[in-house]
């Protein structure tokens, strides 16, 4: 289905899921899913709750294990095996950071300032210098419009501000793929706009591949190149925002959109 | 109650020597308990059955037998197995092992209280396990731990009279000796009680202050 859009792309997909199966106990949440996303594409995942949208994102980040199939990002296999112990000070293999993720609940580190939240990972994981980490932090804080909050603690920020810091934190790792997991669902309605604006500007200015799980249909239509409709752990519709959101030919998609519309 | 201040003053150095021994044992024992407790709390979460099982056995043994019994075992049974330690070291190890079991449980509670999202955020940023513990989990777990640690430290301090049974010349022992030699009880025991107070009250205030200062 998606081939219509990107059949001409000769290079291998950046994100490739092949026949992936994920069970939670006896419940099958992802059912032989195939998905291939080329570099730079902005993809919105929509669908009813429990359809497996968030699980797809979590699988791509390696936060969930899966029972069958194969997940690759930039040709590297993704698994949920936890990173191993090492002795402090021992030589570390270089970390290749490919995938950044932003969560519904922000998950900022409450004991660190906004600035430290952003500099921590580049310094500890990518081993960039302190100056470089600070420079990155200030760049991305400016991008999300929160330069004046650099020394604040997350507990003193609004939900919308916390989520923008979380986005800056993820971007400071210079990921090739950004995953947004219902990033506005936990926000008060008046704070949704500021977060969507930040994501929109990233979508327009950055080369990063984006995968968003969202219930904001209007927003999805605005920024996405491609919309996936999921149900029961499968992708049941895949196409341009226009095909899926405006002129859905799939009965289930239509019903779902009507329900969302009525909220 | 009649207190002879001149006499009290004259026995002060003896009691002070006892107090210093007590504090030495408590501080070293506390450091041992805090470090070992941390190791136990982390090892308890290990996916290796052997490691987590050994931890559970350790915790269950040290929490379900009296400290006095453990001290006796350390002091009398170990030498018969060829391991001889000075009394003070035995006291440090005894207190440390016993309290590490309790402190490990407190750590476990504090660590379990860290939201799952913190682990996931660390994973999402590709932190390795050691960095996640060191930079994200433990600093947050420590804050609710502070009052608990303070209570255990004071608790340890108050348990030290038990150490007299393994011949450690701590404060209680010193007071008893003075009383035994002079047949005067009011002054040494009152002075001893005051010394205990002098240490525990500021300690509890210190931990309250530390708790307030930590930002979470």
Instruction: Among A90, A93, A121, A170, pick the best mutation site for testing chain B contact (most B Cβ within 10 A).
Output: A121
Out of A121, A142, A174, a domain closes at: A174
CA distance A221 to A224: 6
Q: Answer whether A190's CB lies under 8 Å from A207's CB.
A: no
Specify the pLDDT at position B3: 81
Residues of B within 8 A of A83 (CB-CB) are 126-129
**A188 & A240 share domain:** yes
Out of A145, A174, A203, a domain closes at: A174
Instruction: Among B120, B121, B123, B145, pick the best mutation site for testing chain A contact (most A Cβ within 10 A).
Output: B121
Q: Answer whether A116's CB lies under 8 Å from A68's CB.
A: no
Q: Are A62 and B123 inside 8 Å of each other by CB?
A: yes
Spans of chain B, pLDDT less than 70: 1, 214-216
Out of A139, A174, A209, a domain closes at: A174
Tens of pLDDT, residue by residue over A59-73, are 999 999 999 999 999
Question: Is pLDDT larger for residue B159 or for residue A103?
Answer: A103
- Nearest-CA neighbor of A54 among A228, A175, A244, A240? A228
DSSP B118-175: HHHHHHHTT--HHHIIIIIIHHHHHHHHHHHHHHHHHHHHHHGGGGGGGT---HHHHH
Could you tell me if residue A73 is inside a domain? yes
Could you tell me if residue A101 is inside a domain? no
**A164 & A240 share domain:** no
Q: Answer whether A185's CB lies under 8 Å from A215's CB.
A: yes
Q: Domain of residue A255: give its range.
A: 1-79+177-263
Could you tell me if residue A84 is inside a domain? no
**A161 & A201 share domain:** no
Three-class SS state of A100 = strand
Could you tell me if residue A150 is inside a domain? yes
Q: Are A120 and B125 inside 8 Å of each other by CB?
A: yes
Residues of A within 8 A of B131 (CB-CB) are 124-125
Question: Nearest CA of chain A to the CA of B61: how many Å?
Answer: 29
Specify the pLDDT at position A161: 95
Specify the pLDDT at position A3: 47
Tokens of A46: 């929509």
**A66 & A185 share domain:** yes
Q: Lowest-pLDDT range, A21-35, A52-66, A127-141, A235-249?
A: A235-249
Question: Nearest CA of chain B to the CA of A144: how many Å?
Answer: 19
Question: Nearest CA of chain B to the CA of A248: how many Å?
Answer: 34
Record the pTM.
Answer: 0.82
**A151 & A214 share domain:** no
**A37 & A112 share domain:** no
Could you tell me if residue A123 is inside a domain? yes
Q: Are B117 and A61 inside 8 Å of each other by CB?
A: no
3-state helix/strand/coil string of B30-92: HHHHHHHHHHHHHHHCCCCHHHHHHHHHHHHHHHCCCHHHHHHHHHHHHHHCCCCCCHHHHHH
CATH number at residue A27: 3.40.50.300
CA distance A175 to A104: 19
Residues of B within 8 A of A153 (CB-CB) are 215
Q: Is residue A154 over pLDDT 50?
A: yes
Q: Are B121 and A107 inside 8 Å of each other by CB?
A: yes
Give the pLDDT mean for A99-106. Answer: 95
CA distance A64 to B186: 68
Q: Answer whether B161's CB lies under 8 Å from B25's CB.
A: no
- CB burial of A50-83 (b: ≥16 within 10 Å; e: otherwise) equals ebbbbbbbbbbbbbbebeebebbbbeeebeeeeb
**A184 & A260 share domain:** yes
Q: Is residue A8 over pLDDT 70?
A: no
**A156 & A50 share domain:** no
Structural domains counted in chain A? 2
Q: Output DSSP code: residue B192.
A: H
Q: Output DSSP code: residue A245.
A: I
- Alpha-carbon separation of residue A13 from A3, A8, A74, A99, B28 (angstroms): 12, 12, 7, 15, 59
Q: Are A121 and B126 inside 8 Å of each other by CB?
A: yes
Q: Is residue A93 over pLDDT 80?
A: no
Q: Are A107 and B135 inside 8 Å of each other by CB?
A: no
Give the pLDDT mean for A150-161. Answer: 95
**A117 & A184 share domain:** no
Q: Which residue in the block uniquely carries the two structure tokens 């992708």?
A: A235
Specify the pLDDT at position A2: 46
Could you tell me if residue A92 is inside a domain? no
Specify the pLDDT at position B27: 95
Give the pLDDT mean for A199-205. Answer: 89
Give the chain A residue nearest B135 (alpha carbons). Answer: A120
Interface of A with B (CB under 8 A): 61-63, 82-86, 88, 92, 95, 97, 99-101, 103, 105-111, 120-121, 124-125, 153, 155, 166, 169-170, 173
Specify the pLDDT at position B35: 95
Selecting from B123, B128, B136 the residue whose C-beta is nearest the C-beta of A109 gives: B136
**A61 & A136 share domain:** no
Selecting from A84, A110, A125 the residue whose C-beta is nearest the C-beta of B125 gives: A125
Q: Is residue A86 over pLDDT 70?
A: no
Structural domains in chain B, CATH included, are 5-213 (1.10.3720.10)
Could you tell me if residue A87 is inside a domain? no
Give the chain A residue nearest B141 (alpha carbons). Answer: A111
**A211 & A253 share domain:** yes
The gap between the terminal CA atoms of chain B, to the nearest Å, is 49
Q: Is residue A249 over pLDDT 90?
A: no
Could you tell me if residue A161 is inside a domain? yes
Give the pLDDT mean for A88-94. Answer: 58
Question: Nearest CA of chain A to the CA of B193: how many Å?
Answer: 40
Cross-strand partners of A72: A16, A77
Query: What's the ipTM?
Result: 0.88
**A260 & A143 share domain:** no
Question: Nearest CA of chain B to the CA of A105: how many Å?
Answer: 8
């Amino acid at each position: 289905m998606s081939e219509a859009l990107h059949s001409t792309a000769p290079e291998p997909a950046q994100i490739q899921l092949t026949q992936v199966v994920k069970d939670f106990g006896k419940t099958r949440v992802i059912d032989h899913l195939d998905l291939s996303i080329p570099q730079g594409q902005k993809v919105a995942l929509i669908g009813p709750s429990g359809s497996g949208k968030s699980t797809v994102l979590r699988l791509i980040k390696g936060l969930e294990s899966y029972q069958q199939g194969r997940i690759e990002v930039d040709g590297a296999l993704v698994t949920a095996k936890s990173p191993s112990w090492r002795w402090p000070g021992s030589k570390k293999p270089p970390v290749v950071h490919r995938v950044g993720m932003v969560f519904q609940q922000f998950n900022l580190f409450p004991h660190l300032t906004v600035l430290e939240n952003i500099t921590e990972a580049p310094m500890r994981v990518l081993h960039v210098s302190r100056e470089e980490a600070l420079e990155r932090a200030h760049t991305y804080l400016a991008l999300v419009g929160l330069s004046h909050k650099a020394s604040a603690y997350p507990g003193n920020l609004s939900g919308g501000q916390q989520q923008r810091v979380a986005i800056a934190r993820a971007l400071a790792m210079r990921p090739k793929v950004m995953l947004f997991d219902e990033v506005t669902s936990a926000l008060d309605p008046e704070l949704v706009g500021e977060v969507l604006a930040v994501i929109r500007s990233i979508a327009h200015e950055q080369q990063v591949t984006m995968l968003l799980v969202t219930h904001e249909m209007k927003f999805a239509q605005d920024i996405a190149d491609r919309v996936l409709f999921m149900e029961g752990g499968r992708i049941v519709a895949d196409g341009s925002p226009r095909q899926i959101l405006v002129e859905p030919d799939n009965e289930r998609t239509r019903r779902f959109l009507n329900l969302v519309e009525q909220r | 109650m009649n207190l002879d201040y001149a006499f009290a003053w004259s026995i002060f150095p003896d009691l002070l020597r006892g107090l210093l021994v007590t504090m030495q044992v408590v501080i070293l024992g506390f450091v041992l308990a805090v470090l070992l407790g941390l190791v136990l709390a982390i090892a308890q979460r290990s996916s290796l059955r052997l490691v987590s099982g050994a931890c559970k056995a350790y915790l269950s043994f040290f929490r379900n037998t009296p400290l006095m019994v453990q001290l006796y075992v350390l002091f009398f049974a170990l030498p018969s197995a060829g391991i001889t330690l000075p009394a003070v070291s035995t006291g440090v190890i005894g207190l440390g092992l016993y309290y590490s079991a309790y402190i490990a449980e407190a750590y476990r509670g504090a660590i379990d209280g860290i939201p799952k999202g913190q682990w996931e955020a660390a994973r999402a940023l590709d932190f390795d396990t050691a960095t996640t513990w060191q930079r994200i989990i433990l600093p947050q777990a420590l804050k609710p731990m502070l009052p608990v640690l303070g209570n255990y430290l004071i608790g340890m301090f108050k348990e030290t009279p038990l150490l007299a049974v393994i011949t450690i010349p701590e404060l209680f022992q010193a007071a008893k000796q003075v009383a035994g030699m002079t047949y005067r009880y009011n002054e040494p025991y009152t002075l001893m009680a005051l010394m205990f107070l002098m240490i525990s009250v500021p300690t509890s205030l210190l931990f309250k202050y530390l708790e307030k200062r930590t930002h979470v």
